[in-house]
Chains A and B, each alone.
Chain A
Amino acid sequence: MSFANAKRIARRELRGGLRGFRVFLACLALGVAAIAAVGSVRMSIQLGLEREGAVILGGDAEIELTYRFAEPQERAWMEGVSDRVSEIVDFRSMAVVTRGEETERGLTQVKGVDGAYPLYGAPVLEPELELAAALAGRDTYPGAVMDPVLIARLGLAVGETFRLGAQDFVLMAALEREPDSAGGGFGLGPRTIVALDALQGSGLLAPGTLFESAYRLALPEGADLGAMAARAEAELDGAGLRWRDARNGAPGVAQFVDRLGAFLVLVGLAGLAVGGVGVSAAVRAYLDQKTQVIATLKTLGAETRTIFLAYGLQIGALTLAGIAIGLVLGAVAPLALAPIIQERLPVPAVFALHPRALAEAALYGALAAAVFTLWPLARTENVRAAALYRDGAGGRVPLPRWPYLLVTAALVGALVLAAAYLSGLARLTIWSAAGMAVAFIALIGIAALTRAAARRLARTRLARGRSALRMALGSVGGPGSEAGAVVLSLGLGLTVLATVGQIDANFRSAIARDLPDVAPSFFVVDIQNAQIDAFLERVEADPEVTRVQTAPMLRGVITRINDRPAAEVAGDHWVIQGDRGITYSAAPPEGAVVTAGRWWDADYDGPPQVSFADEEAAEMGLALGDSLTINVLGRDITAEVTSFRDVDFSNAGIGFILSMNPGALAGAPHTHIATLYGEEAADARLLRELGNAYPNITLIRVRDAIARVTEVLQGIAAATTYGALATLLTGFVVLIGAAAAGERARTYEAAILKTLGASRATVLANFALRSAIFGLAAGLVAIAAGAAAGWGVMTFVMETDYAFEPGSALAIVTGGALTSLVAGLAFAWRPLAARPARVLRASE
């Protein structure tokens, strides 16, 4: 019975120890560990979001309104469906501190809260204080609590006063933690919380100012959130009203987590692919070394099937061991690193053992091991008994028989489908798999090209007399060349690293690149109609303001396109998510390029027309002549799209998606925005002077805004870096494995060359040149593939711009090539230093 025989053979072979399998185990374990860890972290965050959803949102459900408070009948509806209602208002303003002559100003995101706030969770204040007591204030001043960052910037101390609009507040405590901070996404300024009542006298909530009100509902136990959302939609007239509930407490964060998750899935799969190459190479090296044993077994009468089974069983046992090690690592690592990971996350995560994540990782590991070992295992069939008497180095290795090819293809398919289904990111997974397949084929092609080129070059005059070069070229181009295996593993590893590097570097430079020197110093909002003329006159007269741009601004929501709900036409495009700024002007704005259609005449006074940003219009599938229904302050305006124009958002100047003819918006209350350009040195003075002259306006220092956005992006960039490191580690093991696999052949070659009179330097140069050739070939593919993949991920997954980062690409490719070179030389050093007799004897 061949199975019993196979088992016996397998057991005897494994008795020899795991020496040849360290790389196999390391690659498989690292790949599985990466996926298990990534999956665990993802689930920890999801669980955290679910459990803390209500706290993050500030209630079981929230109804958000723009520019207005709830009407009495809306308020009545809310109180009817819920146990408790809390009303808050959120807007940007400037906090102003005056000390004698000195005035300090800081942008802040103000939250006005009622007595019921917070419905869930509690803020942490320093000094320890009840929120209600803090907001009650002291003496005649209402109280406020503020982000410590802002307190420090303003140089405030607890007990001192500051001003918001026309109202003075006393700072009662620092706001160390705000329970519902993640729900509102990333505001532009640090937080200040005050009592809603106290804002009545500030003049900051006047009609036409930009504020949002939100009503948090504490619903009865077991309330059906889905049904409640539907009721709100039906029973409240949806005038600019947005519903959110604890199922999705922090959409901004959820999106952040989704993208992060997508990226992590990518990294995990890439790690598995790189590890798989290492696994495959290790199995191949092991079986090559076993050629003699296999040939002997065949001579002794073992059938092909028995031999296949015997080695299959060994690999199977080792696969189980590798997966087990990987699972332990992958389960423990996130738990051990929990404090560090938590610090980087905007939400509380629930770190625990997640059996589902571990099971998925085990499945991927088993499938990948099968995919990558079947091929080399199938080659045992090709070992003939004659191998005993002939050197195995020559001849072409035939493809495995078709059943093996079929099974391998089926396993690859199963792996990709499982990943697509289980990750919930089918498109991303399939695209990455396709990308990897292309890289794979490109590498095989490049390896073949390299061999052919090397063979040719070795014959030219150029190589003659340069022994190290000729020997290197000869070995790259000759039979038994390592080109295929090394270029493939090095290339795949470097491709993944280059891709991650491109993404990483792009994140880091995105902001710096997107905001060139022409970025304005200030973005000014909330300039009232009555103030705009005086404001313009003042800044235009200022010698240090080099340029001013202004535009009227309203906010509105696109509700319908061609009289169908907007979401039906444009899907989940960001332009129809929430409210957008809208402007109007009689003439095309300065510098605007109308790319299609025609701008209305200056004296046009017919039905409403709208000019739309061309790029976004194309993404949403809009055409000239379409009609848009836009809800502006509760009033529906239906306008025809009569032109598209090129809008450049990259320089932080004024750019509106929607611009309408002045008549269309006549009478709607609105404010103006302005951008001021000038030298950084003038920033402080402008901030002080304009702030004093117009206490109600908000000046956003663009440099500060950039810093805050950068901070958020750096969180993602840190995650990409961790991912890169995990892949780097696997890639490193693969490279070492590849170097170790070639050790026997190199040692032997070194011994003969020394016998023929080659110095160690010549032999080393020969090996180094080989590595350089492989590194060059693999590096070229890696840079090209990394750039393409980086572009794809940045454009389609992260949805930002991509620019090739030569520094990162070069560093990774040189680093990878050098690593493989150093590893190769390290393995060659010991045999090189010894006399050749023993090496030569061993292969007698």
Chain B
Amino acid sequence: MVDPVARLENAQLSLDGNAGRVDILRGISFEVARGETLGLIGPSGSGKSSLLMLLGGLERATGGAVRVLGQDLTPMGEDALARFRRQHMGVVFQSFHLIPTMTALENVATPMELAGAADAFERAEAELQAVGLADRVHHYPAQMSGGEQQRVALARAAAPRPEILLADEPTGNLDGTTGQAIMDLLFGLRDRHGATLILVTHAPELAQRCDRTIRLVDGQLETDTLASAAE
């Protein structure tokens, strides 16, 4: 069997909040195969976003191991993680997280520029065209609608052609139609470039489009369902 893209071994996450220690993820283990589309579902507060953050190296596990592309992320430094992300990962958030002081084009070009790509801006422009924003390249985030902003965020995540795409409820802040369009884009990107997609969602119909869904409840893995099995 080929190496898994990601592998969690008893991953734990506890945070010291004001009200004392909170165990957010309480020992999670699973593997994600290359090219797979994995849906993370579960009730609010169950730890889906936290799990995605662990996979993206945006949060440090407090126990167990998080391996992505064969590397254990937990002991890695911030700079090593940053380099790792720009080589292998794209992240899309529910609230877009575009840099407010940069135009759409600059936002999209930034990760490629950071990776030293000479043609960062050309590729960024092409990518924006691909998501249908050719006439918005020089707009700032505040000058765009939520759907447009999320399309920029998608372009930004996909333009460097990452092996892994992480998306945390990318349509949560958008209306149904716009959300649908964004989802089509996201799946289209996955299909075209063959990336592994890990998607947090509340929407059952989205979960159904995934190859596999993992359901979290209260920080623990409750079910792990293959789509084919569900049909």
Contacts and interface: CB of A to CB of B under 8 A. Distances in A.
A446 to B, nearest CB: 20
Contacts of A393: 100-101, 140-142
Contacts of A757: 82-83, 85-87, 111, 114-115
A480 B97 contact: no
Nearest to B52: A837
A749 B118 CA distance: 23
Which of B85, B113, B143 gathers the greatest number of chain A CB atoms within 10 Å? B113
A384 interface: no
Nearest to B49: A841
A394 B141 contact: yes
B95 interface: yes
Contacts of B141: 391, 393-394
B202 to A, nearest CB: 15
Given A479-B140, A756-B86, A844 B111 contact: no
A187 B96 CA distance: 77
B101 A390 contact: no
A458 B101 CA distance: 12
A756 B111 contact: yes
A2 interface: no
A271 interface: no
A759 B100 contact: no
A464 B85 contact: no
A295 to B, nearest CB: 15
B110 interface: yes
A479 B142 contact: yes
B125 interface: no
A290 interface: no
A479 B82 contact: no
A465 interface: yes
B78 A832 contact: yes
Contact of B99 (A390, A753, A844): A753
B87 A475 contact: no
A761 B101 contact: no
Contacts of A760: 78-79, 82
Contact of B78 (A835, A838, A841, A843): A835
Interface stretch (A12-20, A203-211, A466-474, A707-715): A466-474
B39 to A, nearest CB: 20
A470 B120 CA distance: 13
B186 to A, nearest CB: 17
Nearest to B94: A844
Nearest to B56: A755
A270 B18 CA distance: 44
A302 interface: no
Nearest to A394: B142
Contacts of B87: 757
Contacts of B50: 837
B58 interface: yes
B150 to A, nearest CB: 13
Interface string B77-107: 0110111011100010111011111110010
Given A393-B142, A753-B99, A843-B95, A762 B78 contact: no
A235 B120 CA distance: 96
A98 to B, nearest CB: 82
A426 interface: no
B85 A755 contact: yes
Given A390-B142, A841-B49, A467 B113 contact: yes
B9 interface: no
B121 A464 contact: yes
A448 B49 CA distance: 41
Interface in A355-408: 390-395
Contacts of A840: 58, 93, 97
A758 interface: yes
A481 interface: yes
A120 B70 CA distance: 96
B53 interface: yes
Which of A393, A756, A761, A838 gathers the greatest number of chain B CB atoms within 10 Å? A756
Contact of A480 (B85, B101, B118): B101
Nearest to A838: B59
B100 A756 contact: no
Contact of B53 (A754, A759, A837): A837
Contact of B106 (A474, A841, A844): A474
A532 B78 CA distance: 88
Contacts of A465: 113, 116, 118, 120
A760 B50 CA distance: 23
Nearest to A843: B95
A475 B85 contact: no
Nearest to B86: A757
Nearest to B117: A465
Contacts of B142: 390-395, 479-480
Interface string A830-842: 0011011110110
Contacts of A395: 142
A481 B113 contact: no
A838 B50 CA distance: 10
A395 B94 CA distance: 23
Nearest to B93: A840
B48 interface: no
A471 B102 contact: yes
A474 B78 contact: no
A478 interface: yes
B60 interface: yes
A479 B102 CA distance: 8
Contacts of B113: 464-465, 467, 470
A229 interface: no
Interface in A245-291: none
A530 B230 CA distance: 130
Contacts of A394: 100, 140-143
B95 A844 contact: yes
Interface in B132-159: 140-143, 156
B79 A761 contact: yes
A762 B100 contact: no
A267 to B, nearest CB: 37
A479 B81 CA distance: 30
Nearest to A464: B121
A480 B102 CA distance: 10
B100 A479 contact: yes
A471 B120 CA distance: 14
Contacts of B81: 754, 835
A758 B82 contact: yes
A332 interface: no
B88 to A, nearest CB: 9
A464 B123 CA distance: 13
Given A757-B111, A837-B59, A840-B97, A478 B78 contact: no
A753 B141 CA distance: 16
Contacts of B94: 844
B16 to A, nearest CB: 12
Which of B86, B102, B116, B141 gathers the greatest number of chain A CB atoms within 10 Å? B102
B82 A833 contact: no
A647 interface: no
Given A465-B118, A470-B113, A840-B97, A759 B83 contact: yes
A752 interface: yes
A183 B168 CA distance: 83
Given A464-B121, A833-B78, A474 B111 contact: no
Q: Which 5 A-B pairs have the closest CB atoms?
A: A757-B86, A394-B142, A478-B101, A837-B59, A393-B100
Interface of A: 390-395, 458, 464-465, 467, 470-471, 474-475, 478-481, 749, 752-762, 832-833, 835-838, 840-841, 843-844
11 contacts: A390-B142, A465-B116, A465-B118, A470-B106, A475-B102, A753-B110, A756-B85, A757-B85, A757-B111, A759-B79, A833-B78
Interface of B: 49-50, 53, 56-60, 78-79, 81-83, 85-87, 91, 93-95, 97-103, 106, 110-111, 113-116, 118, 120-121, 140-143, 156
Given A479-B101, A757-B111, A835-B60, 4 more contacts: A393-B100, A478-B102, A755-B91, A757-B86
